[in-house]
Amino acid sequence: MLYWAMVFLVIALVAALFGFGGIYVAAAGIAKILFFVFLVLFVISLIAGAVRRPTVRP
């Protein structure tokens, strides 16, 4: 249990270092760009899947 407490303490310290250091602005910008890139890729894959799907004949 003490091991996990120390692990989470280190994780919290690293997160605080990034948060207080101003790196969060760059990380948020990268996250926004990646969100839109993956959103576009998702829409393209949906369209490609709908086009390739064979029609069912009765």
Query: Does the residue 58 lie in any domain?
Result: no
Q: What three-state secondary structure class fits 5?
A: helix
CB proximity list for 45: less than 8 A, separation 6 or greater: none
Measured between alpha carbons, how far is 10 from 22 in angstroms, rounded to an integer?
Answer: 19
Query: Does the residue 12 lie in any domain?
Result: yes
Query: Does the residue 15 lie in any domain?
Result: yes
Query: Does the residue 20 lie in any domain?
Result: yes
Measured between alpha carbons, how far is 31 from 26 in angstroms, rounded to an integer?
Answer: 9
Range of the domain at 24: 2-52
Q: Report the number of distinct structural domains present in the chain.
A: 1
pTM: 0.52
pLDDT tens by residue, 5-56: 888 888 888 877 777 767 777 777 888 999 999 999 998 988 888 887 666 6
Query: Does the residue 9 lie in any domain?
Result: yes
